[in-house]
A = this chain, B = another copy of it.
């Protein structure tokens, strides 16, 4: 299949490698050219060029704005993408924006599948992502070999594309919420004389969850650099979860707490730390040393 692939960041690059390895003919584009090096792919001169001959156009970018720019900005991919081709949007974007994309592509006779993923860069490299997919069944069908190349299975969520984005955003909220809760527990525990790494072992055992174990470990050790997933993206995702909640008229008070802590972290210069650095905000609020 001819695939246009836009966005070769921490997640996009290993995904693209797997797509290429699966035998697809891939044309890539990235804002900074050097990220394209070493890929057995055609390098496009711009987003439009990457889209022009694609049967499926993959975008894997950091936020709504980046996707908007690439699709509708100068040399944008949206008008270049052939009628009948499908835009497979893997980025973690917002619900209203995803709905707008659905309309824009439908108006242009193009397909649109929202297909964000769960998993971090190492899982992307191993083709072990979980793909959440929603959209027109025919369009989803067209993406199946793509999904197979990148993940350990597809969770299908029906015809309304934005629902895949809802599920992704709520999933990230649940992870952030686990981090925040562990951070609060460890801070109180430490001030009662307990060792945070010991606590992490106990609670990882209680929950039996790799997510608790790994994020709890980062918080217990206060190890927030280098970032697996940057805190400023955690803030962005929390903001998008709250946007989805607001639209749905359903309060999320715990998401509010997390949003405030991420905002405070960014205000204090921790935007490039791992999103587990909620632990640092919480520890400092308790008067604990964090260095």
Q: Which residues of A contact B (CB under 8 A)?
A: 95, 118, 130, 132, 155, 157-158, 160, 162-163, 166-167, 170-171, 173-175, 177-178, 180-182, 184-185, 187-189, 191-194, 199, 202-203, 205-212, 239, 241, 244-246, 248-257, 259-261, 263-264, 266-269, 282, 285-288
Quote the shortest CB–CB distance from A273 to chain B (angstroms). Answer: 14
Contact check, A285 vs B267: say whether CB atoms are below 8 A apart: yes
Given A194-B163, A286-B251, answer yes or no on A177-B181 (Cβ-Cβ < 8 Å). yes
Contact check, B254 vs A206: say whether CB atoms are below 8 A apart: no
- The chain B residue sitting closest to A241, CB to CB, is B188
Q: Chain B residues near A158 (CB, 8 Å)?
A: 193
**Residue in A118, A180, A193, A245 whose Cβ sees the most chain B Cβ within 10 Å:** A245
Contact check, B267 vs A287: say whether CB atoms are below 8 A apart: yes
Given A249-B286, A253-B260, A264-B287, answer yes or no on A203-B189 (Cβ-Cβ < 8 Å). no
Main secondary structure of the interface of A (DSSP, over half): helix
Contact check, A256 vs B254: say whether CB atoms are below 8 A apart: no
Contact check, B181 vs A254: say whether CB atoms are below 8 A apart: yes
**Residue in A192, A241, A250 whose Cβ sees the most chain B Cβ within 10 Å:** A250
Contact of A203 among B174, B187, B192 (CB under 8 A): B174
Quote the shortest CB–CB distance from A288 to chain B (angstroms). Answer: 8
Given A166-B188, A192-B166, answer yes or no on A257-B249 (Cβ-Cβ < 8 Å). no
Q: Chain B residues near A245 (CB, 8 Å)?
A: 184, 188, 263
Contact of A199 among B167, B177, B180, B259 (CB under 8 A): B167
26 residue pairs A–B, Cβ–Cβ below 8 Å: A95-B192, A130-B206, A157-B194, A158-B193, A166-B188, A166-B189, A170-B185, A170-B203, A171-B185, A174-B203, A174-B207, A184-B253, A184-B254, A188-B244, A188-B248, A207-B207, A207-B209, A208-B208, A249-B264, A249-B267, A250-B288, A251-B264, A253-B253, A253-B256, A264-B287, A267-B285
Contact check, B206 vs A174: say whether CB atoms are below 8 A apart: yes
How many angstroms from the CA of A162 to the CA of B193 in the assembled complex?
A: 10
- The chain B residue sitting closest to A212, CB to CB, is B209
7 shortest interchain CB distances as A-B pairs: A267-B287, A250-B286, A209-B209, A191-B248, A251-B260, A256-B256, A177-B181
